[in-house]
């Protein structure tokens, strides 16, 4: 198999489309933030806003609400919907697919519930440790939707991650103190309820299907014997071509393969890195990093 991703790590390939959604937020953040409108006049209900501060108010009349046909209305979930809508080229059908079968979202509860139903929701570290919730230890990545809770039960707010350094997640949020703005939280914060992984281009970021496409097997998004064997064969191929291991490329993880395997090292960028990252995704884990 040729090096279809070259030195580019699988993580970077999978996140490429996520940044498109985040770029839509930049318009609203602007200089000082995009504010809600104080009354029902429509002057600032279009995307073409020249003066962000002129919108300052608290009545929840916004461009997002105008687009989602709910003015006035709490607009944190609607801002997520709007960002995804614009990242999808103003295509509501595509936006609906990205947000697990619903567009637009009007409240935070449906964001998490729909993502959870689609197998794309993960509880935060706080929820797992204090509430006994299930789910693998999850590290948010750019493009993830984050749902917040004041009491650990009721979902009260939402935003999108644009970076994570392993201890802190950085977000864009709408309807935060009556404006759109950037915020940050420790991953151990009790305010974090959970993370929702959008489905870009028909597939979830870090999905098994993406890894299967790279391996050249049927992309059914199911981690089974075929995918496992293909991953092992790719690993064996790399060991033979790079280290002259001389092992049989049969897709079976046996003693011969085990003892011939050279460990990865910090800074490595090669096909074997992609294999191991892909296997982590198959186990619903993340390699980590922003």
Predicted pLDDT of residue 270? 84
Tokens for 22, please give them.
Answer: 């985040």
Q: Return the exposure string of 141-152: e unless at least 16 CB atoms fall within 10 Å of the residue's CB, then b.
A: bbbbbbbbbeee
Tokens for 3, please give them.
Answer: 């090096």
User: Which helix H or strand E contains 278, and what residues bound it?
Assistant: helix 271-282
Tokens for 151, please give them.
Answer: 């009491």
Q: What is the pLDDT along the chain (290 residues), one digit of tens a residue?
A: 333 433 345 555 555 566 667 776 766 665 556 788 877 766 667 766 566 677 788 888 888 888 999 988 999 999 999 988 888 878 898 889 889 999 999 999 999 999 998 888 999 999 988 887 776 678 888 889 999 999 999 999 999 998 899 899 999 999 998 888 889 999 999 999 999 988 876 665 456 877 888 888 887 778 899 999 999 999 999 999 999 999 999 999 999 999 999 999 887 878 898 899 888 878 867 665 43
Predicted pLDDT of residue 283? 80
Residues near 39 by beta carbon (within 8 Å), at least 6 away in sequence? 57, 59, 61
Predicted pLDDT of residue 150? 95
Alpha carbon distance 208, 227 (integer Å): 9
Predicted pLDDT of residue 77? 96
Predicted pLDDT of residue 216? 87
Predicted pLDDT of residue 151? 94
Ordered domains of the chain (ranges, CATH): 18-200 (3.90.1720.10), 208-282 (no CATH)
Predicted pLDDT of residue 190? 96
């Amino acid at each position: 198999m040729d090096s279809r991703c070259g030195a580019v790590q699988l993580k970077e390939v999978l996140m490429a489309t996520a940044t498109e959604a985040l770029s839509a937020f930049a318009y609203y953040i602007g200089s000082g933030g995009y504010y809600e409108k104080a009354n029902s006049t429509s002057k600032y209900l279009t995307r073409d806003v020249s003066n962000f501060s002129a919108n300052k108010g608290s009545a929840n009349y916004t461009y997002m609400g105008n687009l989602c046909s709910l003015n006035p209305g709490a607009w944190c979930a609607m801002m997520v919907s709007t960002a995804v809508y614009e990242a999808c080229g103003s295509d509501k059908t595509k936006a609906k697919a990205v947000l697990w079968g619903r567009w637009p979202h009007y409240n935070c509860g449906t964001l998490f519930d729909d993502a959870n139903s689609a197998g794309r929701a993960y509880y935060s570290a706080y929820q797992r440790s204090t509430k006994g919730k299930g789910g693998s230890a999850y590290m948010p990545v750019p493009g993830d939707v984050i749902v917040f809770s004041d009491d650990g039960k009721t979902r009260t707010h939402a935003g999108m991650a644009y970076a994570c350094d392993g201890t802190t997640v950085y977000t864009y949020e709408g309807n935060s103190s009556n404006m759109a703005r950037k915020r940050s939280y420790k991953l151990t914060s009790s305010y974090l309820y959970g993370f929702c992984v959008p489905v870009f281009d028909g597939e979830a970021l870090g999905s098994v299907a993406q890894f299967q496409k790279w391996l050249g097997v049927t992309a059914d998004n199911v981690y089974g014997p075929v995918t496992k064997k293909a991953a092992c064969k790719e690993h064996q191929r790399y060991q033979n071509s790079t280290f002259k291991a001389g092992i049989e490329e049969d897709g079976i993880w046996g003693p011969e393969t085990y003892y011939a395997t050279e460990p990865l090292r910090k800074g490595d960028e090669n096909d074997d890195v992609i294999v191991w990252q892909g296997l982590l995704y198959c186990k619903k884990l993340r390699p980590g990093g922003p």
